[in-house]
Amino acid sequence: MTILYPVATNAEQALSRPLGRAARESEARRRAGGDVAFTTDPAGPAFPTREAALAAYAERLEPSEPGDRYCQLVEQVVAEAGRPPGPVEPTYEDGRRWPKPAPPPQTAWRLTVSYWRVPTAERPLEAPQARQARKSRQALEPETLRAIARAPLRAVKPQQPLDIGLFETRPPEAPHIVMPDE
């Protein structure tokens, strides 16, 4: 089963009117006419229960075609007044440190859409490399900081090829192969 992901500039467009559908990055680049990045973003409103979200998005979550399974429901913690929940205060009983039982945080259910994202002026494809952004001492926008935090770690320069190990050797008839030496 091959999933055909939408090609769009944001999650809302991926649900309503994508530029096309593609399974691979090369196909998505052809449809978009440029670079793309695979991403998963939330779309639509948050629902207090899973059942309410399933009722609202039943046709998206259980499509008739198996290649249309690019949406899923996720449970997210709802932050009070824009802040994540704080740390739990420990208590000390009988010589042991046990945290006080805290009430579970309030959660909401959201629809997430996986799609090939086309870059736009307000949301480029890649965030700057974290070390270079920190050393530049320029003020960064909050969205840029979030993009740096979400991006995988990238090296400042490419990694050099590794040497062969202590118990490995290259045979004279095939120097491009590394073999274990016992």
Domain that holds residue 25: 1-82+112-123
Task: Count the domains in the chain.
Answer: 2
Q: What is the pTM of this model?
A: 0.62
One domain for residues 150 and 68: no
Q: How far apart are CA 21 and CA 30, in angstroms?
A: 11
- Residues 65, 4 within the same domain: yes
pLDDT, one tens digit per residue, over 108-147 is 999 999 999 988 766 666 667 777 777 877 787 777 777 7
Q: Alpha helices, DSSP H only, in 4-129?
A: 11-16, 25-32, 50-56, 58-61
Residue 56 domain-assigned? yes
CA angle 140, 146, 152 (to 5 degrees): 115
Determine, yes or no, domain membership for 88.
no
Q: Do 181 and 168 form a contact (C-beta atoms < 8 A)?
A: yes
pLDDT tens for 22-60 read 999 999 999 999 888 888 889 989 999 999 999 998 888
Bridge-based pairing state of the strands 90-93 and 96-99: antiparallel
Asked whether the beta carbons of 103 and 71 are under 8 A apart, the reply is no
